[in-house]
Structures are given as structure tokens and as C-alpha cells.
Structure 1
């Protein structure tokens, strides 16, 4: 790819499937011939040598260039988790510099957020939305919103989309992070509604996708995610 691209993966909530979506995006871009790096500014709920989200992305996608900005043990929002350990969170500028460095040797950099779009990442109250805005001069910036399939997802998705538009960062794509094998009428109705929004629909990842063998995951994910041709232009 001649045009460097930064893709921010955010969610309507925690536990919606951001990590498996990030891995699926990484596998899809790699299958299209792109050089891919993945960065998670703040990883919480993991300590020591435990496997975190970036380890899962590496395992599933096969992408080797995966890094964290900071790792904190408590399963809490970054600011609260850092306070418990009396540690200083990286600044917005540090995160932007880390992304810029990755862009020097990769055509696509995926950035996976923690929790939702407006979870604070540092002591000054900066969020993933602020980070996305701060790197717009470095590359094309795309924001993918991962949502649930079930009850409550319509309101949470619309709130996230509205927050993005308010900040001049309209979403570039929507994904359901875990689509059940036997969806309910409610879930099928939610899917129709999400497809009707003025945001590109990228697809639904099957529930349990992270349990697939890595080779199977890499083979199948490009068929579940339908990336716009413009994202893959060389």
C-alpha cells in the first residue's frame, strides 16, 4: 500500500469483540499484501507474563509486530488501574510517537482501544478519540466501531457514532464482534438496523472465532470481513 493507514478499533462497550476484530482486520490486510503492525495503548487486567490482547492478536493473525503502550494488572479503566499501582500512564504524545514509529516500517497500523471510545487513557483525560485526532496528519485515519448483537446495541452504537461525528472523526466501518450461530429475532432485527446506517457495514464475526486454529482463522476472516476496495488500494 502506498498510502499509510491507521485504523482505530473501538467498541460500544467492553467485551464486545475488539480484540478478535483487530486480529481479523490484521489477517485480512496481511492477506491483501499489506505490512501490518498492531498497537494497544493501554492493556489492563493483565500482569507479568500473562497473555494479553496483543498476544491473542499475534497468535490468531500471525502478525509479529504487536506492542503495548503500558500493561496494568487491575481489570479497571487505565487511570484507576495506574493509580492502584502508583504508575504514570504514557502521554498522548508518547502514544502518537509510538504509532508514528510503526508507520515508518508498516503500511497499516491497527490501534486497539481499551473499553469504549471515551475511556480516559492518561492523567490529562485524553481518550482514544483524542489520539485519533492527533495523528490525522500522519496518515489516512479510519475508525472501526465494534458492537454487540443483542439488546442495547442500537443505542450504544448510535451514541458512539454521534460522539465520533461530534469530534470530526466519522466511523469508517461497523462490525458485530460476536454473531451467534442461532440468532434470535431481536438480533436479526438489530443486524438489519445496523446495516441500514450510513456507515459502511464490514461484517459479523462468528461467535467463538477466537477458538479457531490460527491457520483456519487467517483463512476464514477475510471472508467474514468485507473491507472497502479503497482500504486495500495499492
Structure 2
């Protein structure tokens, strides 16, 4: 991975984005790299409760630097959650500034968005894509494995290209133990609709592994683009 900052976005919520972020962090830490994880806006979590960055640290290890810029209690889009709580929203310039500062002292900064690429940060409609543009950072798109994922991935890829943003690739955030026909076919179709390679497949339930097991296995879920040893072509042949 050549860039010091990677924006991790998704095609929706509850698709394995945080676990995928943790896997990337774990692989980088095992390779001797210093890693920070930045969560611009955490929603649906009360003060004092563990959020996504805490989950990344639990899985990837305490060597990871966790940073959360804003926390809003209701499980809504960040802009809506901030407005309902009477709190100041997180703005793209804040995200870019924080990521740049972390990049000055870390080998890798992972910026994990909330939901999809165009979820609103504020009332003006600012998004994670705006922060990525300010940073000049590539995006990793984490996607579902099954029905409906092709449309969502293609829309996200088109939104990235329209904004002049680069896409590192697509990772499947939760690959089932027993994939059906749709999942198996999607492995071949995802790179085509994304216009970018399939760079990983994190197994379903990976976040429930012990910390040691997670860190030991993470490299096998991620391709070389993410520092791992996962073979995308071999995976496609096995499941296709």
C-alpha cells in the first residue's frame, strides 16, 4: 500500500467495514508499521461506550492509535445525529487536518467512514468523499457478498470517479461459510462493475475470533494491495 492514508468506506451499514479496517491494521502492525485509525463521526453510541475505533484496537492490538472526532448518541447519519443532539457536526476539513497530523507520525492512517461514501456529515451535505478529496487519499470500498451488492458497488465506484477519487479496490466484508449462487457469481462480477480489483474477503464471524486468532489469520483475508497474502484469482477459481 503506497499511500499513507487510506479511506475505508462501504456500500451501507453493517457490512463488515470495521472488522475489515481492523484486519488491515492488524496486518500492518505485524509488518512493523505504526498505524492510526481515525473515525470522523461515531453515531449510535453513548458516552463511555466502546465505539468502532475501540473494536479495531481490540482486534488489531493496542499498538494502534485510535482517534474519534465526533460522537453522537442516535444511530443516524452523522449530520442528522449531530443536529438532533444540538452538537457541532464534523466537517471534512477537520477530518483532513486530523488525518494529516496522524500521517506525520504514523506509517498508515485508516479513515473509517460511517455507512456509505455519500452519507452527510452536516446540513450542507458534506461527505467522506469531500474529506478524501482534501487528503488526496484512495478509497477502499467494503461491500456485501450477496444479492444487491453489484448495484451498490457500481454506484459507489461511479461516485468516486465523478469526484476524481481513486479506488484501491473492493473487499468483501463478510464472506459466508456456505456461499450461495449469488455470492459465488458476485466474486467474478464485482471487479467488473467496480472498475477495480477484488482485494480481500473477510470471513463471516471474523470479529468473534479471539484477538490472537484474528491477528494471526488477517493476512490471509487481504490481498497484496492491503499488505496480505490472499490470492484473489485463486479464491475466484475455488468459489466460482
**TM superposition score normalised by structure 1:** 0.92
Matched-pair contact (CA < 8 Å) for 1:92–1:122: no
In 2, the alpha carbon distance for the partners of 1:71 and 1:81 equals 9
Gaps of 5+ in 1: none
Partner of residue 159 from structure 2, selected from 146, 152, 163: 163
- Contact conserved, 1:161 with 1:170, CA < 8 A, in 2? no
Which secondary structure does the structure 2 equivalent of 1:112 belong to?
A: strand
Tell me if structure 1 keeps the 8 A contact 2:92–2:128: no
Q: Which has the higher contact order (CA 8 A, sep 6+)?
A: 1
Q: Hey, what's the Cα distance between the residues in 2 that align with 1:147 and 1:12?
A: 6
Deviations 1:171-198 (A, max 9, x none): 1111000000000011101112114453
Write the distance in 1 (CA, Å) between the matches of 2:52 and 2:155: 25
- Aligned: 1:188 with 2:184: yes
Q: Does 1:57 align with 2:53?
A: no
Secondary structure of 2:179's aligned partner: coil
Paired residues, number? 226
Report the counterpart of residue 40 of structure 1 in structure 2: 39
CA distance in 1, matches of 2:185, 2:166: 24
- String of CA shifts for 1:93-137, please: whole Å, max 9, x gaps: 22211111111210110000001000111233211110000012x
SS, match of residue 138 in structure 2 = strand
Q: Deviations over 1:174-231 (max 9, x none)?
A: 10000000000111011121144531221110000000001110110111101328x7
- 1: CA distance between counterparts of 2:38 and 2:18? 11
1 CA distance for matches of 2:146 and 2:222?
20
Contact 2:34 2:64 in 1 (8 A): no
SS at match of 1:124: coil
1:208 lines up with 2:212 in the alignment: no
Residue from 143, 150, 175 that aligns with 2:146:
150
Q: Over the residues paired in the alignment, what is the CA RMSD in angstroms?
A: 1.7
Alignment partners' CA distance in 1, 2:191 and 2:130 = 27
Q: Does 1:226 align with 2:223?
A: yes
Structure-2 separation of matches of 1:134 and 1:123: 19
- Deviant stretches of 4+, over 6 Å: none
Are the counterparts in 2 of residues 4 and 107 from structure 1 also a CA contact under 8 Å? no
Matches within 5 A, 1:17-28: 17-28=16-27
The match for 1:123 is 123
Counterpart position of 1:92:
92
